[in-house]
């Protein structure tokens, strides 16, 4: 009769029999499988542990942990126009800063603190919606076209833009100000325009589209794209700017003196006709004050208001 192959090698040795080669091979195979299973289990455990660590890091540093958004179910009641009372009295007050531009729409006033943008009931001051980033500071907030536009600090620079619906706080679009090789270094100045928000540092100027329509991600419509960007010539630094229907009047301090520049209001950065720069005046340290039906700047040496022709930059009155 054939020997039972289920007998182990150790049992055969205990009986004094010579180990069956088939049984020995089966034993080696089983031992190899056990080692492979042990290695497999160890690898799976390491992968799971790594995944848990990555998930914890993402959770602790990601937006899901640090961003808190509370929206309003409906807009605040509009504040009716009325004649001022004879003796005004404080209805409410807040330690927050007020958004630049027009800080209110309908019945909502936009304010901000170190980490939070708030839409308040204009009659009571109650917070109807809030947007908070606990990991980043608010640099500045503007209100325009029914949008609360907040710039948050990322490291040393203020270049993270979040836009919220002023009435409800619903998040509309987000972007980073680093397009076309024009990074925002440091803290920029926000200047509201008619249908754009202008963000300016000494070395970069963004004209960002702001629309009353909601952002359409499929077509990138009304999603805060650049109408145009502007960078001064080498050796120049922008000091101030004023937007208007005639363009954006920009003052620059350059190595060869001060310049006054009128930039076209809508022409693209690479446009040929019309040209982006309508005119540039050298040796002019004027401080921009208007760029609408007339273009004007203050002469810092004489303190006079100087009016310029919108087409050529010729002085028309002082």
Neighbour tally for 194: CB within 10 Å: 12
Instruction: Examine the pLDDT at 60 and tell me if it is beyond 90.
Output: no
Q: Alpha-carbon distance 87 to 224, whole Å?
A: 43
- The model's pLDDT over 198-218, given as tens digits with 9 standing for 90+, comes to 999 999 999 999 999 999 989
- The model's pLDDT over 79-108, given as tens digits with 9 standing for 90+, comes to 988 898 899 999 999 999 999 999 999 999
**Phi, psi (deg, nearest 5) at residue 22:** -65, -40
**Phi, psi (deg, nearest 5) at residue 80:** -70, 145
How much is the pLDDT for 199?
97
This prediction's pTM? 0.78
Instruction: Examine the pLDDT at 18 and tell me if it is beyond 70.
Output: no
Instruction: Examine the pLDDT at 9 and tell me if it is beyond 90.
Output: no
Length in residues, the chain: 318
Please check whether residue 258 is in contact with residue 251, taking contact to mean a CB–CB distance below 8 angstroms. yes
Percent of the residues in the chain that have a pLDDT greater than 90, as a whole number: 70
Least confident of 33-42, 145-154, 281-290: 33-42
Q: What's the mean per-residue pLDDT of the chain?
A: 89
In a domain, 51, yes or no: yes
In a domain, 226, yes or no: no
In a domain, 67, yes or no: no
Residues 201-224 as b or e (16 or more Cβ within 10 Å = b):
bbebbbbbbbbeeebeeeeeebbb
In a domain, 39, yes or no: yes
Domain that holds residue 25: 9-57
In a domain, 135, yes or no: no
Number of domains the chain is built from: 1
In a domain, 297, yes or no: no
Using a 10 angstrom Cβ sphere, with 0-12 exposed, 13-18 middle and 19 or more buried, the burial of residue 259 is buried
């Amino acid at each position: 009769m054939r020997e039972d192959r289920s007998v182990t090698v150790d049992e055969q040795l205990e009986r004094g029999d010579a180990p069956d080669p088939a049984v020995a091979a089966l034993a080696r195979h089983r031992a190899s499988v056990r080692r492979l299973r042990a290695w497999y289990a160890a690898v799976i455990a390491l992968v799971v542990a790594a995944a848990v660590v990555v998930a914890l890091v993402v959770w602790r540093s990601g937006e899901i942990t640090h961003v808190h958004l509370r929206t309003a179910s409906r807009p605040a009641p509009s504040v009716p126009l009325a004649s001022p009372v004879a003796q005004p009295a404080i209805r409410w007050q807040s330690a927050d800063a007020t958004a630049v531009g027009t800080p209110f729409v309908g019945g909502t006033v936009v304010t901000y603190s170190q980490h939070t943008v708030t839409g308040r009931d204009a009659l009571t001051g109650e917070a109807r919606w809030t947007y908070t980033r606990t990991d980043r500071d608010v640099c500045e907030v503007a209100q325009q076209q029914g949008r609360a536009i907040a710039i948050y600090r990322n490291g040393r620079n203020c270049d993270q833009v979040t836009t919220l619906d002023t009435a409800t706080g619903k998040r509309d679009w987000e972007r980073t100000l680093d397009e076309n090789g024009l990074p925002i270094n440091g803290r920029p100045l926000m200047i509201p325009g008619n249908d754009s928000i202008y963000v300016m540092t000494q070395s970069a100027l963004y004209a960002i589209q702001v629309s009353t329509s909601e952002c359409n991600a499929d077509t990138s419509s009304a999603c805060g794209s650049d109408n145009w960007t502007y960078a001064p010539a080498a050796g120049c630094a922008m000091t101030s700017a004023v937007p208007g229907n005639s363009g954006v009047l920009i003052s620059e301090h350059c190595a060869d003196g001060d310049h006054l520049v009128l930039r076209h209001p809508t022409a693209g950065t690479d446009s040929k006709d019309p040209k982006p720069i309508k005119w540039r005046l050298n040796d002019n340290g004027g401080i921009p004050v208007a760029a609408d039906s007339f273009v004007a700047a203050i002469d810092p040496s004489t303190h006079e208001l100087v009016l310029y022709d919108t087409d050529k930059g010729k002085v028309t009155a002082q």
